[in-house]
Amino acid sequence: MGTGEKERKKNRVKFSPSGIAGILIRKIIGVHKKYGMEWWIMIAGIIIILFTVYMALFPETLSPFDPLDQNAGPQLSPPGPVNPLGTDNLSRDVLSRIIHGSRTILGIAFTAAVLASSIGITLGLLSGFAGGITDRILSLIMDSIYSFPGLILAITFAAMLGPGVINITLAVSVTYIPTYFRLVRGQTLSIKEEVYVEAAKAMGAGRAVILARYIFPNIIATVVVLFSMNIADAIITEAGLSYLGLGLPAGVPDWGMDIALGKRFLPSGSWWVITYPGLMVVILALGFTMLGEGLAELLNPRLIEK
């Protein structure tokens, strides 16, 4: 048994949230020499995310105007000294709307990912572990949903539920449940054949203990990567839904909605109203993608690079 394997075994036994954090921190400190480019990609991603989180938590400290203030400057004025990113058709400051809008999109994408992952992981674990007819039926249902365009399902859901922050979160999260389910189920299937699971069974460990202490800790690395990628995707989906006018009630500043509203003024040349919110969607989604790729490299080098 090599030293690397020994260490992994040690970590596995000591599994706990703080244990995982410890492993991550040790890896992050020790690993940057080994992975040059991936390391910097991840750091860039983390910086983008931290900055947006700050915007979402303390928008007042950054934004020059109130996002709903209809007296922030002349109507549809281009970027200038008073309104750094210009104003929209209701004379609202585009920069302030972007800063305040970060809370909406980040909150919804994160909550949706948490919801989707908790349901998807639970079902995946149970389905993979139980096997038999339950597994067959669940897999068939999840595969059917998975193969269908997620956006169309989200659109249908969101339209039926009506506008609202909670409704749009539900609509976004539903489409990602199968992704977690498939990943976790597949891993559970292979892990439950491992010798150490066999050993635990032989020592009289119950089903719940095997699932929680032996199987779940071993899938957590891939789930973390998927979670990060999932938030990136959820950001794009949320922006898409509110662009289609299915997302949020008027009055909640939101990037997707700002693009939809500004679209009408594009032919007259007011490019700033839609360009900046869209750019923010790209940057934020890119941040989470970069974090995901970096984590994939750190936690399991085989995941992206072959």
Partner 1 sequence: MKHVLKYIITRVILTIPMVFILLTFVFIILRIMPGDPVSAMLGAHAPEYVIQEKKEALGLNKPVYIQYVEYLAQLARFDFGESMIFKQKVSSPIIEKLPATIELGIFGMLFSLVIGIPPGAFAARKRRSLPDFGIRLYGNIVWCIPVYWLGLMLQLVFGIWLDIFPIAGRTGTKVFPSLFERTGFYLIDTLITGNITAFLDVLYHIFLPALTLGIYLSGVYIRLTRANMIDILKSDFILAARARGIPENKIVYNYALKNAFIPILTMMGLQFALLIGGAILTETTFSWPGMGRLLLERIYSRDYPTIQGIIVVFALGISMISLIVDIIYALVDPRIKY
The 10-49 site mask, x for binding partner 1 (CB under 8 A), equals: ---------------------------x------------
Smallest distance from partner 1 to CB 131, Å: 19
- Site size for partner 1 (CB under 8 A): 43
Token pair of 161 as six digits: 């539920």
Task: Give the residue with the Cβ less far from partner 1, 166 or 266.
Answer: 266
Under a CB-based contact definition with an 8 Å cutoff, are residues 63 and 69 in contact?
Answer: no
User: Residue 244: phi, psi to the nearest 5?
Assistant: -75, 0
Beta bridge partners of 93: 87
Nearest to residue 110, comparing CAs of 244, 287, 243, 297? 287
- Using CB under 8 A, pick the residue from 140, 166, 199, 209 that binds partner 1: 140
CB of 277 to partner 1, least distance (A): 8
Unique residue bearing structure tokens 């067959």: 136
Please say whether the dihedral angle defined by the alpha carbons of residues 83, 86, 89 and 92, taken in this order, is positive or negative.
negative
Alpha-carbon span 45 to 198, nearest angstrom: 40
Please report how close the Cβ of residue 258 comes to partner 1 at its closest, in angstroms: 11
Rounded to whole angstroms, the Cα distance separating 257 from 285 reads: 17
Q: What tokens were used for 186?
A: 């597949």
With CB under 8 A as the contact rule, the residue among 225, 234, 248, 290 that binds partner 1 is 290
Question: What is the spatial distance between Cα 261 and Cα 88, in angstroms, rounded to a whole number?
Answer: 9
Binding segment toward partner 1, per CB under 8 A, in 59-67, 146-154, 185-193, 195-203? 146-154
């639970």: which residue's tokens? Answer: 122
Residue 305: Cβ within 10 Å count? 10
How many other CB atoms are there within 10 angstroms of residue 304's CB atom? 13
**Per-residue contact string for residues 220-249; x = within reach of partner 1 by CB under 8 A:** ------------x---x--xx--xx-----
- Binding region for partner 1 (CB under 8 A) out of 58-66, 82-90, 135-143, 213-221: 135-143
β-partners of residue 87 are 93
* Cβ closest to partner 1, residue 56 vs residue 142: 142
Q: Residue 146: name the closest of 114, 105, 116 by CA.
A: 116
Contact with partner 1 (CB under 8 A): which of 3, 147, 195, 202?
147
* Residue 85 one-letter amino acid: L
Residues listed for the chain: 306
Please identify, using beta-carbon distances, which residue of 106 and 236 lies nearer to partner 1: 236
For residues 262 to 281, the per-residue mask of contacts with partner 1, x marking binding by CB under 8 A and - elsewhere, is -x--xx-x-x--xx--x--x
Closer by beta carbon to partner 1, 2 or else 267: 267
> What φ, ψ does residue 194 adopt, rounded to 5°?
-65, 155
End-to-end Cα separation, the chain, in angstroms: 24
Q: Which of 13, 50, 160, 209 binds partner 1 (CB under 8 A)?
A: 160
Closest distance of CB 233 from partner 1, Å? 9
Q: Which is nearer to partner 1, 19 or 78 (CB)?
A: 78
Interacting span for partner 1 (CB under 8 A) from 55-63, 84-92, 152-160, 178-186: 152-160
Which residues contribute to the site for partner 1 (CB under 8 A)? Answer: 37, 140-141, 143-145, 147-152, 155-157, 159-162, 232, 236, 239-240, 243-244, 256, 259, 263, 266-267, 269, 271, 274-275, 278, 281-282, 285-286, 289-290, 293, 306
